[in-house]
A and B are shown apart, each in its own frame.
Chain A
């Protein structure tokens, strides 16, 4: 009687059933006493930065796949949030930050990750494989044997497990090739999914035997006490303390028609729910979801549609006979809709989905829970969706969100077309960067998370090796570049930064603070002979390069005669001990030949100028010179005066000639280090901020082209930063080699279009607007370090460069009013060490 009444009211009969009793958990499998499910993790698709057309195409592919693979199967989507853990990051960092300084940086970053408390989305899909409910006789027998033998009844035969595994793998094959890119969920993830529901996060410390968790370990995972209150559940720990307050929400009403881009993306927007805290600041609310769904087969869909149409028709006829004369407009519309739907199902093959969505909100106190629930209701009201607390049915609602359970609140189901469910874009969001490697930024799209990218990683994956930071001045390009360089140096790479602007001293201070090897070289008399190629390179290799440099310094009228004279002097000095360019000049001066002496004197005059002294000046005792050891070297060029591309060498002024000779010295050193076969295993990075200064010269262009093209073979990466993407886009050789782009805002249309093309996006009004506003906050303030990143896979997403600590922020700041001295950095190493040891202990 009660059952009939429940059915009449649409309340169903599953409300009183007990919780699922898990029997085994294995890779991609959760088995309870009643049913077995295959579980898959679903990769995030980058939808935030994709235009509508591409999004529609992907959605259609997913629907087509689901119609094939999921028809008539009971499925469940679970959207869960984990936390990015600093401890895990630090442990992982042992693989990529091998140096002492690297570990320091990783420890600071780990602390920052914990401080940020970033949620991390996991989307899982479960598909029912089989019903395991035993027959009544079998059940009675099993219960009796359990009672007598005390076996507990929670077991599964190896044969059955093997069968389920085969079934799961069959589904996995289809999942793997689908646009959802589903993979069998690892057993650890599934254990986490079950344990976290009751906040019993016992880590699966020992690897599960034969990949299966069962018995006592599984029982431990499902331990816990959950007390249902009318509007929430309280989850208790062993000592009776409340661990969490969870509220399960139902979604009774959806708009009848929505666009799949925008309001229709109701599951993708879960990360957008915000509440206002006591300080008036917006904080994100963690909302989890469980959607049980079933793609109705064509036959089932037609049956339901036909039944509804007939009922509506019967109502119309019956009303016509009586005094009512006509039925309500609602019934008439239903009849019409069903008739149309019938045709659509038959002709267009439209698929209907029946689904039961539930949302879960968890907080630490009832007050916070109230605020969070209000925020969720408000958020969905904006999308036209009614959300309500499942009052007095929290127990049923919560149990039905568990894997291997069933629909317990059948009257809150929905029937939609496949676009209605899949258009919710539960797998949409942002995804950029690598799965491992150093983390230097955070994703700011609809799915928050860490961005991991190694600028020196291109060569290892057999890809091109150029990274470009592009955008307007003062938006955080150089800071982003320095942060990336710190990570690379922390991994034991050799890095050189050609600092034409002179604002990258902070990179050195930060390296010293972190105990990473670093050197600052200024082109001045102070560093006389520091970039002397005769001293840096093997003398025989250096002869021709130094010859070219000295020829540049030679006045035009002496050149014809100077060429053999210089070569002769160079050869002579190269055979001596401790050769240097200064010695070559002295050799010329000491020659008995008058021309040689004149040439030597002229060259000596150039060599004593600030620019010339670095490449040809007298070497100073004990001073640092360019090396090929791992670490960062920042080279600054105050007063450098490079000629334009149009000017021929004959038109160059003497200052330009010295500048070019000086630049050739540095580029020669970089090229030698990058191309040295002995250093092939060492990752090498050449960073050039304000690269347009270099692209304006033939030498610079040739150099960039060389490094970009041969970078992969030599394990050398190029990092450039520019304000002028249009000029970069004309250097085809360079553009072809760009793997990763960090795009900051640009205001003029040609630059925006050039940047869009570098981001592999179609230049359109939408892209232009996005590029213009990427550095603007909601209230119009400038968001430094916020940019669009396009990774080597071609996926774009908005990210925020994150400086791991205030101290590093102060040190690497490139704003002009910040005077950073190198001195205090050395003193600060001690306290940092103590702090880190404390943090690690």
Chain B
């Protein structure tokens, strides 16, 4: 017996062959066209608000950047070719906002900030830092290790460094300090309270 999978057959990538009487040839995909126009409007609106209307010199920033973004956004993802890059980016963004949240007792309570993986690790800032420091030797795959700190997110927080020094004070100095403190405590403390 033969089994058939129609997943690809059902996926019709519709293209726009003409727009407002303009022949677009093979045409862009309709998804790209819709998203592209929305993104272009949003981008132009944002720049307009900040820098005012485009001039012949700055027009390129108003148009090229969204065009490049849209072009890459609608390329097939390398990892999962069924998805566009844009979908992959959206999923990545979703991980940062929702997807990283620990599931505690099947969401009976929300995880506290301390229980979540810190933003720095989530964003992979350590990797970016490493790229920014080209003088440091890169970490090769065989040098990569899963340390205990990776297993325990709390231990991933910055290390508290203790810098203790001993100093010797003379009697005069100590007496002087004590006198000053006593004088300070003798003053009545007045506090103003905010009225709610």
Q: Which residues of A contact B (CB under 8 A)?
A: 5-6, 8-11, 15-16, 18-22, 56, 59-60, 198, 219, 222-230, 234, 240, 242, 250, 252-261, 264, 304, 308, 311-312, 314-315, 318-319, 321-324, 327, 330-331, 333-334, 337-338, 341, 352, 365-367, 388, 391-396, 398-399, 402, 411-417, 419-420, 423
Complex: A312 Cα to B14 Cα, angstroms: 8
Given A8-B34, A11-B87, A323-B25, A256 contacting B102 (CB threshold 8 A): no
Collect the chain B residues with CB atoms within 8 Å of residue A414's CB.
Answer: 5, 7
A322 in contact with B24 given A10-B87, A416-B7, A417-B4 (CB within 8 Å): yes
**Residue B8, interface by CB 8 Å:** yes
Q: Mark B47-80, 1 if CB is under 8 A from A, else 0.
A: 0000000000000000000000000000000011
CB-contact partner of B80 in A226, A252, A308, A318, under 8 A = A252
Instruction: Answer yes or no: B26 CB below 8 A from chain A CBs.
Output: yes
Query: Does B27 make an interface contact (CB < 8 A)?
Result: yes
Give per-residue flags for B7-31: 1 if the beta carbon is below 8 A from chain A beta carbons, else 0: 1111011110110000111110001
Instruction: List, in ascending order, chain B residues with CB within 8 A of A228's CB.
Output: 95, 99-103
Contact of B151 among A242, A253, A399 (CB under 8 A): A242
Query: Are A324 and B14 touching (Cβ within 8 A)?
Result: no
Tell me the smallest distance from the CB of A270 to a CB of chain B, in Å: 17
Once the chains are docked, how many angstroms separate the CA of A365 from the CA of B107?
A: 25
Given A11-B90, A322-B25, A227 contacting B82 (CB threshold 8 A): no
Closest 10 CB pairs of A and B: A392-B95, A19-B106, A19-B107, A420-B3, A322-B17, A18-B107, A419-B3, A423-B3, A226-B103, A260-B1
The reply to whether A252 and B82 form a contact with Cβ atoms under 8 Å apart is yes
What A residues does B107 contact at CB under 8 A? Answer: 18-19, 21
Collect the chain B residues with CB atoms within 8 Å of residue A393's CB: 91, 94-95, 99
B residues near A331, Cβ cutoff 8 Å: 12-13
B2 CB–A CB distance under 8 Å:
yes
- Taking the closest CB of chain B, its distance from the CB of A24, in whole angstroms, is 15
Q: By the criterion CB–CB under 8 Å, are B95 and A254 in contact?
A: no
Q: Which residues of A contact B1 (CB under 8 A)?
A: 56, 59-60, 259-261, 419, 423
Question: Which residue from B3, B8, B18 sits with its C-beta under 8 Å from A260?
Answer: B3
Counting CB contacts under 8 A, is B146 at the interface? yes
Interface residues of B in 111-135 (CB under 8 A from A): 115, 117
Which partner residue on chain A sits nearest B146 by CB separation?
A366
Question: With A21-B106, A222-B106 known to touch, is A255 a contact of B5 (CB < 8 Å)?
Answer: yes
| B2 near A419: Cβ-Cβ < 8 Å | yes
Given A229-B117, A250-B80, answer yes or no on A257-B17 (Cβ-Cβ < 8 Å). no
Known: A311-B14, A395-B100. 8 other contacts (CB 8 A): A16-B98, A224-B103, A250-B80, A260-B3, A315-B12, A393-B91, A402-B106, A420-B5
Known: A242-B151, A331-B12, A419-B4. A392 touches B92 (CB 8 A): yes
B120 CB, nearest partner CB in chain A, Å: 14
Known contacts A15-B94, A259-B1, A392-B95: A352-B102 contact under CB 8 Å:
no
A407 → chain B closest CB, angstroms: 15
* A257→B2 contact, CB < 8 A: yes
Q: Which of A321, A352, A411, A416 interacts with B3 by CB under 8 Å?
A: A416
Query: Which of B7, B80, B105 sits near A415, CB closer than 8 Å?
Result: B7
Q: How far is the CB of A300 from chain B (nearest CB, A)?
A: 13
Chain A residues in 8 Å Cβ range of B14 = 311, 314-315
> B102 to nearest A CB, angstroms?
4
Chain A to chain B contacts (Cβ below 8 Å), 25 pairs: A8-B35, A9-B87, A15-B98, A21-B107, A227-B102, A227-B103, A228-B102, A240-B152, A252-B80, A252-B81, A258-B3, A260-B3, A321-B17, A323-B25, A330-B13, A334-B9, A337-B6, A338-B9, A392-B94, A395-B100, A416-B6, A416-B7, A417-B4, A419-B4, A420-B4
- Distance in angstroms from B146 CB to nearest chain A CB is 5
Q: How far is the CA of A505 from the CA of B53 in the complex (A)?
A: 102
Given known pairs A226-B103, A253-B82, A416-B4, the reply for A321 and B10 (CB within 8 Å) is: no
- CB-CB under 8 A for A322 and B104, given A234-B151, A259-B2, A308-B12: no
Is there contact, CB below 8 Å, between A22 and B106?
Answer: yes
How many angstroms from the CA of A531 to the CA of B138 in the assembled complex? 85
- Docked complex Cα distance between A608 and B15 (Å): 105
Provide the bound-state CA to CA distance between A402 and B103, in Å: 13
Task: List B contacts of A304 (CB < 8 A).
Answer: 10
Q: Which residues of B contact A352 (CB under 8 A)?
A: 6
**Shortest CB–CB separation between residue A231 and chain B, in angstroms?**
11
Residues of A near B95 (CB, < 8 A) are: 228, 230, 392-393, 395
A323 neighbours in B (Cβ, 8 Å): 23, 25
Is the pair B105, A219 in contact by a Cβ cutoff of 8 Å? yes
Partner of A225, one of B8, B23, B104: B104
How close is B88's CB to chain A, nearest CB, in angstroms?
8
Q: Which residue of A lies closest to B98 (CB)?
A: A16
| Residue B45 is within 8 A (CB to CB) of chain A in the complex | no
The CA-CA distance from A5 to B26 in the complex, in Å, is 25
Given contacts A9-B87, A222-B105, are A416 and B9 in contact (CB under 8 A)?
A: no
The residue of chain B having its C-beta at the shortest distance from the C-beta of A397 within the complex is B99
By the criterion CB–CB under 8 Å, are A9 and B90 in contact? yes
